[in-house]
Chains A and B, each alone.
Chain A
Amino acid sequence: MVLTAFRQPVDTLAMRFVFAPTLDGFRTIFVDSNFQLYLQNSLLTAIPTTLAVLLLAAPAAYSLAHLNKRSRLFLGSVLVARMVPGIAILIPLYLAASRAGLLDRRLTLIVVYCAFNLPFAVWLLRGFFREIPNELREAAIVDGCSEFQVFWKIMVPLVGGGLVATSVFVFIGAWNEFLFALALTQSNAATAPLAVIGFRNEYGVQWGAIGAAAVMISTPVVAFAVVMQKYLVRGLTMGAVKG
């Protein structure tokens, strides 16, 4: 069971460095470097991304599930977009951002992450919206609700679980992303996953600092995922099996 033995690299590390004063690493990252800035950037990127994705994806998913069930063009483009590897759009986005003076800005990352997570979110939410019977919508329309009211007052509250599942996935995706953050930011908007590299290059390898940084970066997502396990599993199987 090699897997079990190395399941938590953080613990493994702690075992080896059992004599090293543990708080040194944390001191290094918080006092000697501006790690909190990176953590803050990560939060201020991942949270707006999650909210924006929900705002964009939910209406689209509702529309696909109840209004225009056979919107081939949109479904197809969502699927293809999901297959396109990030590197393919990285260079053009880098050039566009650099020309528009938008490099090293959180806003740029948020917009990119939004688009990147959108296909999966639409797909996932569509499954959840489809579980709500269309009769509910028809009854509300007969009672004089507008389409927007149906969506906002009836459908959105009913897919609460789906929204939670989707936000778990989007948040983790945005929090963990590395490639775009590496290319599109330098220092002002750099996110926490980038910060670990800093501790490798500046003064050799500072394992204590890397360990502390790793704990700070991983704890939120791991805790989030474990707490939301029920939704995570449901979302995953929904997305995986129903497509």
Chain B
Amino acid sequence: MTASASARRQRRNALLFLAPAAGVLALIYLGPMLFAFHASFTAWIFTSPGSQDIYVGLENYSDVLISPELWSAVRVTLIYAFVSICCGLTLGTIFALLLDTQFYARSFFRSIMIIPMVITPSVIGIFWKLLYEEDSGVFNTALRGLGLPGFSWLDLAMALPSIILMDVWQTTPFFMLVILAGLQALDRNTIDAAKVDGATSLQLFRYITLPHLVPYMLIATSFRAIAAMGDFDKIWLLTGGGPGDRTTTITIFAYKTGFSAFDIGRTTAIACIFVVIVLVASSPLLLRLFRSALEDRG
């Protein structure tokens, strides 16, 4: 009797403690999502009054889904996220391995490495524009100094690689930090035992270190994937999505549709499609986190 009463009280308390956070999440996420879903079925143009009451069924979706712009944006988003993550992961692992060895001023280097990660992305976008300038940009000045011809970093062919390079510069430290933490959790005894057995350092890495790091890499990759797909500020300020639509990611595409054409119906349809893409792409992480959260007990 008392036991069940206290259990009931505990459950009530649990809900009370959760309620404020749940309220804010519902207000800012659930509300707008439902609203967006509803609006995506209307012919709503923000600048023409009354158009929000015209229902067009799935027309926004079919318009958007057959438009080449959407698929170009999906392609750009996926290439951007995929290539940037591959490079960031590789470089991050290399830096982490280097930083894991004991040497003087190690924490200084670690501090330096953190800096790109936290610099305001809009500042990064502006400054990389300066680095990429064709006539007087830092990269081309350096290339000419080496006797090489400079080139246009932000033209049709190079714009996408250039935004990826910028993102790799910014996010490599994130991978490095996570992998460094993984390395520090590695059991030194195993390594010592393998060394005694005569393993080469390449074998050590391949058969002991790398398998140990895989979960860390997976988690870092998944987190970065979600964030990279939504990246906006850096790209917007560096290229504005151009030239043409070469660097127009889904977020930039939706933003342009929403805030220059004011086509609410279409924008919300793009947003809904985007949410589905992100949720599908990140569902392995979602399931993994959810399962581990439910399984372990405190």
Contacts and interface: CB of A to CB of B under 8 A. Distances in A.
B232 interface: yes
B271 A91 contact: yes
A216 to B, nearest CB: 10
Given A68-B11, A89-B28, A200 B126 contact: yes
A200 B236 CA distance: 13
A176 B121 CA distance: 7
A182 to B, nearest CB: 8
B298 A9 contact: no
Contacts of B112: 7
A88 B122 contact: no
Contact of A87 (B35, B46, B142, B274): B274
Contact of B230 (A12, A65, A85, A119): A85
A78 B35 CA distance: 19
Contacts of B60: none
B24 A114 contact: yes
B63 to A, nearest CB: 17
B156 interface: no
A118 B111 contact: no
Contacts of A80: 279, 286
B208 interface: no
A76 B290 contact: yes
Interface in A164-188: 172, 175-176, 178-179, 183
Nearest to A236: B177
B268 interface: yes
Size band of the interface chain B makes with A: 35 or more
A89 B282 CA distance: 18
A77 B141 CA distance: 50
Interface string B109-128: 01110111111111110111
B82 to A, nearest CB: 17
A221 B138 contact: no
A237 B183 CA distance: 11
Contacts of A229: 107, 110-111, 114
Nearest to B282: A83
A69 B297 contact: yes
Interface string B213-241: 00110011001001001101100110000
B10 to A, nearest CB: 6
Interface string B171-202: 01010011011100000000000000000000
Contact of B21 (A7, A60, A232): A60
Nearest to A74: B18
B18 A196 contact: no
Contacts of A65: 298
Interface of B: 9-11, 13-15, 17-18, 20-22, 24-25, 27-29, 31-33, 35-36, 39, 46, 91, 107, 110-112, 114-124, 126-128, 130-131, 136, 138, 141-142, 169, 172, 174, 177-178, 180-182, 215-216, 219-220, 223, 226, 229-230, 232-233, 236-237, 250-251, 254-255, 258-259, 264, 267-268, 271-272, 274-275, 278-279, 282, 286, 288-290, 292-294, 297-298
Interface of A: 3, 5-10, 12-13, 16, 55-57, 59-60, 62-72, 74-96, 111-112, 114-116, 118-119, 122, 130, 134, 147, 151, 172, 175-176, 178-179, 183, 192-194, 196-197, 200, 207, 210, 213-214, 217-218, 221-222, 224-226, 229, 232-233, 236-237, 240-243
20 contacts: A3-B91, A60-B17, A60-B21, A68-B14, A71-B14, A71-B18, A78-B25, A79-B286, A81-B25, A85-B275, A86-B251, A87-B250, A88-B272, A89-B28, A89-B33, A90-B258, A178-B121, A178-B236, A179-B232, A233-B180
CB-CB nearest 9 A-B residue pairs: A115-B28, A92-B32, A68-B14, A63-B17, A178-B233, A237-B181, A67-B14, A60-B21, A9-B127
